[in-house]
Amino acid sequence: MFCYQCQEAAKGTGCTVAGVCGKTEEVANLQDLLIYTVKGLSILANKGRETIELKKLDHYIMRALFMTITNANFDAAEFVSTIKQGFSLREEIIDVLKDKGYTLDNLHDSAVWYADSDKAILVKAESMSVGVLATENEDVRSLRELIIYGLKGMAAYAYHAYNLGKENDDIYAYITKALEATLDDSLSADDLIALTLEAGEFGVTTMAMLDSANTEAYGNPEITEVNIGVRDNPAILISGHDLSDLEQLLKQTEGTGVDVYTHCEMLPAHYYPAFKKYDHFVGNYGNAWWKQKEEMESFNGPVIFTTNCIVPPSKSYIDRVYTTGASGFPGCPHIEENEDGSKDFSEIIEKAKNLPAPTEIETGKIVGGFAHAQVLALADKVVDAVKSGAIKKFVVMAGCDGRMKSRSYYTEFAEKLPKDTVILTAGCAKYRYNKLNLGDIGGIPRVLDAGQCNDSYSLAVIALKLKEVFDLNDINELPIVYNISWYEQKAVIVLLALLYLGVKNIHLGPTLPAFLSPNVVNVLVETFGIGGITTVDNDIQQMIG
């Protein structure tokens, strides 16, 4: 195996024996083979995109990409079965293409390879020709993987929007175009860079689509105090990013005596008006994903993962872990979706009834809900605070959290920021500083949480609006600096989206991606002023002055 897609890649270069994330060699290889298979399917899709119906295939590709995101799915059997599903879809599309008179000679191996048994699939998965290292030139490999990781993030966000009834064929067309391009040896580095920027453009489109899917279904997030304590009822903990799963769980638990709590990236669900009507939607339990072992242990009730980030569960609670959507873990029941998108969570609810209430690990409240509509409703106040000098700078600290000790940098950074600065955040990165009590500036909290990582889109909308209000030509003239932390591939699409919007001088930490070769880093530095982080004092001096 060779995997270097996340921030915790072994030795800062790549995992080669087993994943630091807990992914086995077998699963890593199968993920590569699934990506290889969807590249082949993309070649076929691109041939007929203008003339044939591709919805089923596009949905398959979207879910397959999402399954390979760090910490989403650890289930080898699910990857084997998804690859086999790819074979059937391939046969279907080949038949349709042939019927329409397309010639299908000399297809790339990714579009024709076949294995007639699970064992043969595993043998193919081990082959070096399907993995990341199949591309020998490290710069080409770097750019290809940067694009693929961006596509994984894009697919994840598109999947959530799709679950709420929104999709966009242009996004699917870009995904298959880009996947095929990652096999094309005739493309130059410049071609691949152009394709990377296009990923950013479609990243913005996808996040905007998800934003409208979420807000049209559940209303605009509003300032909300979220309880972080517990009640004395049995309960279910829901984690991940999928709001439609949460809605279904809330409806099905209503009146059962079972409470529902959010974990990690599901916290922002509390900010949506539509979920406030559920009295049994009690609060948020715990912190970012990497603390889940201790927190899920003390939660006592069933846990449902709707997406990443799963940490391989301990024996003490694995029998109460469930997955759904693109997530999976061997031995944990997977709640399948019915044809109409509905899911039956009754098994989990029954299980909860027989388990003790959560053990209290903290008490109090945290405040969030500062997505674009809420911040723009406060625009006058914000603009006045900037004009009067009460707010000197906004610091975007969105992104992911992770288990590396060096991430204490972000807590210290937040603590040491001058009192006339406001942190704009989104994603699980917030858990490094959202319970610090950093105060407010004239009633505006110093930490404004827009929501999940995809709600980084909200931060971009806010920046663009401020640019308009202050009558500036360039988004970079705003008093906003970016100190973003990343972990997995959703952060890659968020970063590419910000670059597409013209944001410069983003600091990215706690380390730069292992998948960026030195030459690709140079391009990002020269073109976009991207930099890493140093020490808290240095960086505050440099970013805030």
CB 441 within 8 A of CB 466: no
Determine if 507 is a binding residue for ligand SF4 (CB under 6 A). no
140 alpha-carbon distance from chain centroid: 24
Residue 358 DSSP label: P
Q: Of 42, 68, 70, 454, which one interacts with ligand SF4 (CB under 6 A)?
A: 70
Q: Which does 9 bind (CB under 5 to 8 A by kind): ligand SF4, ligand SF3, none?
A: ligand SF4
Nearer to ligand SF3, 97 or 226 (CB): 226
Q: Of 13, 15, 256, 404, which one interacts with ligand SF4 (CB under 6 A)?
A: 15
Least separation in angstroms between residue 403's CB and ligand SF4 is 10
Q: What is the Rg, in whole angstroms, of the alpha carbon atoms belonging to the chain?
A: 23
Q: In whole angstroms, what is the distance from residue 284 CA to residue 260 CA?
A: 9
Determine if 289 is a binding residue for ligand SF4 (CB under 6 A). no
Nearer to ligand SF4, 4 or 486 (CB): 4
Determine if 20 is a binding residue for ligand SF4 (CB under 6 A). yes
Q: Name the residue with the smallest CB distance to ligand SF4.
A: 19
Nearer to ligand SF4, 200 or 402 (CB): 402
CB 495 within 8 A of CB 508: yes
Determine if 149 is a binding residue for ligand SF4 (CB under 6 A). no
Q: What are the E-state strand segments in 161-263?
A: 224-227, 235-239, 259-262
Least separation in angstroms between residue 79's CB and ligand SF4 is 14
Query: b or e along 432-457 (b: 16 or more beta carbons within 10 Å of the residue's beta carbon)?
Result: bbbbeebeebeebbbbbbbbbbbbbb
Nearer to ligand SF3, 180 or 449 (CB): 449
Q: Which does 332 bind (CB under 5 to 8 A by kind): ligand SF4, ligand SF3, none?
A: none
Q: Which does 289 bind (CB under 5 to 8 A by kind): ligand SF3, ligand SF4, none?
A: ligand SF3
Residues found near ligand SF3 in the complex (CB under 6 A): 71, 241, 264-265, 289, 308-309, 400, 427-428, 452-453, 487-488, 490-491
Q: In whole angstroms, what is the distance from residue 401 CA to residue 434 CA?
A: 12
Determine if 250 is a binding residue for ligand SF4 (CB under 6 A). no
Determine if 6 is a binding residue for ligand SF4 (CB under 6 A). yes
Determine if 321 is a binding residue for ligand SF4 (CB under 6 A). no
Least separation in angstroms between residue 116's CB and ligand SF3 is 37
Q: In whole angstroms, what is the distance from residue 223 CA to residue 221 CA?
A: 7
Q: Which does 6 bind (CB under 5 to 8 A by kind): ligand SF4, ligand SF3, none?
A: ligand SF4
Nearer to ligand SF4, 149 or 275 (CB): 149
Dihedral sign computed on CA atoms, order 232, 401, 404, 541: negative
Name the residue among 155, 146, 159 with its Cα closest to residue 202.
155
- SS3 assignment, position 378: coil
Determine if 200 is a binding residue for ligand SF4 (CB under 6 A). no
Of residues 357-386, which lie at the interface with ligand SF4 (CB under 6 A)?
none
Nearer to ligand SF3, 214 or 517 (CB): 214
Q: Which does 178 bind (CB under 5 to 8 A by kind): ligand SF4, ligand SF3, none?
A: none
Can you name the residues that pair with 445 across neighbouring β-strands? 440
Q: What are the E-state strand segments in 149-249?
A: 224-227, 235-239
Of residues 23-42, which lie at the interface with ligand SF4 (CB under 6 A)?
23, 28
Q: Which residues lie closer than 8 Å to 306 by C-beta, 6 or more apart?
A: 238, 239, 240, 241, 242, 245, 246, 266, 324, 325, 327
Q: Which does 309 bind (CB under 5 to 8 A by kind): ligand SF3, ligand SF4, none?
A: ligand SF3
Nearer to ligand SF4, 310 or 423 (CB): 310
Least separation in angstroms between residue 133's CB and ligand SF4 is 13
Nearer to ligand SF3, 9 or 57 (CB): 9
Q: In whole angstroms, what is the distance from residue 382 CA to residue 310 CA?
A: 38
CB 288 within 8 A of CB 487: no
The crossing angle, in degrees rounded to 10, of helices 189-218 and 169-181 is 150
CB 395 within 8 A of CB 458: no
Name the residue among 124, 66, 59 with its Cα closest to residue 85.
59
Determine if 490 is a binding residue for ligand SF4 (CB under 6 A). no
Binding site for ligand SF4 (CB under 6 A): 3-6, 8-9, 15, 19-21, 23, 28, 70
